[in-house]
Each structure stands twice: as C-alpha cells, then as structure tokens.
Amino acid sequence: MIPKMLYLVALPWLLLSFGCGASADDPQLERQSYAAQGEGKGEKAAVLPQVDCVTTAVPWPRGVRYVDGKLYALSRGIHRSAGGPQASIEDMGGSIFEIDPSLAEPAIKGAVPSLALQQNAKVLAAPDPKVVRLWDRRMPATLDRQTDRPYCMLLYDRESQSFFICAYSGIDLGQSPGFRKNASDAVHRYDLRSQSWHVVEQHDPSVVPMAEFGENVSSIYYPHHDPAKNPPPHGLVNGPCGGIIVGRYLYVGSNDNTALAQYDLAAIRKDPNAGPPPGRFIFEGNKGYAEVEVKGQGLTKIMGTCAFAVNEGFLYVAFRTTSQILRFPLREDGGLEHPLVAEKIAQFSRYVHGKGGSADIYDMCFGPDGLLYVSPGYDGAIYRFRPDPKRVWDSTKAAYQPFIDLEPLLGTKKSGNICFDDKGHLYVCSGQDLTPDSKIRGVIYRVRAR
C-alpha cells in the first residue's frame, strides 16, 4: 500500500503540434517513424499514435516508473542550462512524485490543460536532509563539495517496497571553467515500509584534495577506501546515472569511471532499516575507460556506463561516450555469468574529442512487443528494434529511422527517461520549457499503444 501523499505542486503547460510519417517493415527494425516527413511521396501514411500529456507538475522529471496502476517520477531539480540550483526557486529536487495516468488528455496544438492535469502530481517522498545532502546558494562555499544532487534513475523493487535513485552534483561557478563536479556521488532508496530514506551507496568527498576538484573528479579516488577491509558504503560509482534490479541484485552504472557495480539486496528485503548493502565492481575503468570481451571483437573499449534493460536472460548495458549497447548473459538468481563475455547489439553515434557527437543515451527498456526502445538525448528521437547480435543495429545508417521523433512532434530536441505501463503505453519524460515566463520546466508525455 502506498502511503498517504503529502502535498501538491502545479506548473503551467502548453502543447505543440504533431505530424506523421511513413512506415517500413524491416524484420529487425519493425519500425514506424512518426516524424513529419512531408506529403506527396507516394507512400502510405502511418497512423499517428495518440499522444497525451500526462502531467506538467514534476519539475525536470528524470526518472519514471509505472507501479500498480500509478506512475512515479523523480524530480532532478534545476538543470545547469536553467542556472542550476537557486535558493529563490523551489524545484523539488530529489522528490518522488505519484501521478495518476488516468487524468491524461489528448495533445492538441495550443491547448491548455485542465487544472486537474496541471496538478496531476503528489509528492510521495521529499528528500530527508539527513540522507540526501542537497545544495542551494544559501550554503557556505566551504560545504559545497560535500553535497549531492538527485540526478537521475528511478527504480522500484517490489520485494523491499523501495524506490532507488542516483545522486551526484556539481557547482555552477561564476568564473572559468564555469562548472565543478562534486565527489559526493550516491545511491539512495526510499522504503515504503518505514517511509524513510536510506543510503545505498555514497562516496566520501573528504578523500579528494581540494585542488583535485574541477570539471571532473579523478576516478582514482573511487572507491574511497579498500572494500575488502571496510564496511559499505564504499563509494564505487563516479557519476552514477542509471541502474536496474535483476533477481536479488541492484546494478548501478556510472558515467565517469565507466563502472558497473552490483549490490546484494537480500538484507534490505528482510529489514526496511538495513544499512548500505555490500557492493562490488563487475567492471570499472579508473583510467577513463574499461575493457570487456565482446564476441567476434575481442577486448573492446567502453566508456560511460549509463542505461540498462533486461530481457530473456540477458542484461543490456548502454554506454554514453562510446555509444554501444552490449548484452551479458545472466544466471537465474540475477547474477552475471562468468567469465564475462558480451555480445554487441547496437551502435549509436560516438563521442569525438573536441567535437562532441555522443548519442547521450538516457534510457532504454523493452516493450510488450519484445522490441528494445532506446531514448538517446542527442536528437529528440526514440528508436526501437529487435536485438540480434548477428546483425548489429546502427543508428548512423540512414535506413534506421526513429520509431518516434519528438522534435517535429513535440518541439523538444531531447528525449528523456521512458517506461511502459501494463497496457503498452509508452511514457516519455522531457525537460521542455513550455512557459517562457517561468524558470520551471518539465512534462511527461504518453504515446498510446496501438
């Protein structure tokens, strides 16, 4: 049973226009592009799926999950592009919201939603300052390196009745380089049984010399102690930005030290007040990259562990910088088979030093159709395909069109976190700025099942 909600928030809302495109029937892609592609091409038009707005009441939604008829989203707080955390703005960073998906309305150009939609979010859990070390501009500068900021990922473990979130942050500076990353990276959980927050993983920033703080923090300081000689938390993850629960294990990926960390949830499932679980590296790259064995390719460089999915005995892992998607075979208990050997499933555009270009994969999940849906942040598109290691899917090839392109449809150049409900509807988070006179952004859309 989800506990009684605490309070409401409301944000203004606006919808943009939609278009439709053509379908294709490649057996691997099984795609349908819904981007506006013009008329008179002699192609049979695809039927545009119904797109709804579900809510605008979650500031910067950066994690979404459907549980027992309810939709839950994590507010990440104000993004750097909007000026970063500010004492004058209540951005609800780190709050988990409950949303009623039955209140959704069809998206119509220029339409303003009902008041019910504007208020369609209740705070399930606001962050506990004893656990989640939030930062705002009222804090002394001497403390700013010790804070974290709920950033992304929202997972739910039914056995422990716990939500899990990733947290890491940086400070917006008034001088060059303009941004400085902190070293207080963490994973937290909110337990519905005790209605309380708990640390799962947390890095000790005091091990990092002040002179070492910059746009990045060296991964040589992760973990912050010897895990074999000390109790958790160990501070394994530098830039945690995604995870998944499989069997008895929580897997967390971190961008900055290319780590995949595994945590045993057995104690947490028995005791809501259990301490941080034991954790270990599956792989990590404190030199800036890691290497794993890939069938047919040998030892392969990977950078920026970021997103996960699971299906039919495989753990799918995406990498933000090198932009591959690999899959690893799983044991029945959710552990990974060893020796660790991956299969390459997909390739998106890679990061090129000095030029950028990374696909910036935010999230991925399997749909009820058995296809893998991938949400990269670089072009506002969501792709889908049937994984086949014998035929690696490549987004850089013109034939591989997106399933749905959010830029012409919704006006946003970045897709966000995604999930499906039990009816096959696809939910999409966006940090879209729909109200020019407001500093708050955020909308959750729904693409109805066909």
The answer to whether residue 376 scores a pLDDT higher than 50 is: yes
Identity of the highest mean pLDDT range in 42-56, 148-162, 233-247: 233-247
Number of domains in the chain: 1
Residues spanned by the domain of 135: 51-447
Instruction: Write down the residue that tokens 């004492």 correspond to.
Output: 87
Residues 40-80 pLDDT 10s = 333 333 455 688 989 988 988 999 999 999 999 999 877 66
pLDDT tier at 450, thresholds 50, 70, 90 = confident
Q: Regarding predicted confidence, which is higher, 13 or 181?
A: 181
Instruction: Tell me if 168 is assigned to some domain.
Output: yes
Three-class SS state of 129: coil
Instruction: Tell me if 21 is assigned to some domain.
Output: no
Handedness of CA 138, 139, 140, 142 (dihedral sign): negative
Instruction: Give the up-direction half-sphere exposure of residue 332: CA atoms within 13 A in the CB hemisphere.
Output: 0
pLDDT tier at 439, thresholds 50, 70, 90 = low
CATH of the domain at 424: 2.120.10.30
**Tokens matching residue 207:** 């091990």
Q: In whole angstroms, give the CA distance from residue 406 to residue 420.
A: 17
Instruction: Tell me if 43 is assigned to some domain.
Output: no
Instruction: Write down the residue that tokens 């392969």 correspond to.
Output: 300
- Angle at CA of residue 103, ends 434 and 5, nearest 5°: 95
**DSSP codes of every residue in 333-374:** TSPBPSS-EEEEEEE-PPPBTTTB----EEEEEE-TTSPEEE
Instruction: Tell me if 23 is assigned to some domain.
Output: no
Most distant CA atoms of the chain, gap in Å: 69
Q: In whole angstroms, give the CA distance from residue 373 to residue 31.
A: 10
Instruction: Tell me if 45 is assigned to some domain.
Output: no
pLDDT tier at 351, thresholds 50, 70, 90 = low
Average pLDDT over residues 103-121: 79
pLDDT tier at 286, thresholds 50, 70, 90 = confident
Handedness of CA 413, 150, 71, 56 (dihedral sign): negative
Average pLDDT over residues 355-383: 86
CB 63 within 8 A of CB 71: no
Per-residue confidence (pLDDT) for residue 59, from 0 to 100: 87
The answer to whether residue 280 scores a pLDDT higher than 90 is: yes
Of 325-334, 351-360, 423-432, minimum mean pLDDT range = 351-360
Per-residue confidence (pLDDT) for residue 216, from 0 to 100: 86
Q: Helix-strand-coil percent breakdown of the chain, rounded to 5? A: 10, 35, 55
pLDDT tier at 182, thresholds 50, 70, 90 = confident
Instruction: Tell me if 46 is assigned to some domain.
Output: no
State if pTM tops 0.95: no
Instruction: Tell me if 128 is assigned to some domain.
Output: yes
